Amino acid sequence: QVQLQQSGPGLVKPSQTLSLTCAISGDSVSSKSAAWNWVRQSPGGGLEWLGRTYYRSKWYSEYAVSVKGRITINSDTSKNQFSLHLNSVTPEDSAVYYCAKVADRYFQQWGQGTLVTVSS
């Protein structure tokens, strides 16, 4: 049973960097059949995909146009986890952030979600 455990601060100041980590159990971040994603949801809003990282003989990362240039998703194989870094945040980045595993073309497992508020 794959489990994803998120960690990171719930409050970030404007212009700073939002950083969250997703620890994986029951699978490997280096799996060649999975992709490791970050998704967010603004209050009362829909789901917004932010990006993903995955390993296929080498590491790849892909990002949504809406956050490209501000986002980095990377992996730590020694800790079997992956992380989200979103810089220059504004109050519009306040949302619930989820990490999620995609395999076989759908989201198979989600983290518990982290409410992040951008405020001074």
Partner 1 sequence: QSVLTQPPSVSAAPGQKITISCSGSNSNIGNDYVSWYQQFPGAVPRLLIYDNDKRPSGIPDRFSGSKSGTSATLAITGLQTGDEADYHCATWDRSLTAQVFGGGTKLTVL
Q: Which residues bind partner 1 (CB under 8 A)?
A: 37, 39, 45-49, 52, 62, 64-65, 98, 102, 104-108, 110-113
Strand partners, 92: none
- Give the DSSP letter of residue 113: -
Report in angstroms how near the CB of residue 53 gets to partner 1 at its nearest.
13
Q: Are 21 and 5 in contact (CB under 8 A)?
A: no
Question: What is the Cα–Cα distance from 3 to 6, expressed in whole angstroms?
Answer: 10
Q: Are 11 and 117 in contact (CB under 8 A)?
A: yes
Is the Cβ of residue 16 or residue 109 nearer to partner 1 in the bound state?
109
Is the Cβ of residue 1 or residue 65 nearer to partner 1 in the bound state?
65
Report in angstroms how near the CB of residue 51 gets to partner 1 at its nearest.
8
- Give the DSSP letter of residue 61: E
Is the Cβ of residue 93 or residue 101 nearer to partner 1 in the bound state?
101
Report in angstroms how near the CB of residue 5 gets to partner 1 at its nearest.
13
Strand partners, 1: none
Report in angstroms how near the CB of residue 87 gets to partner 1 at its nearest.
20
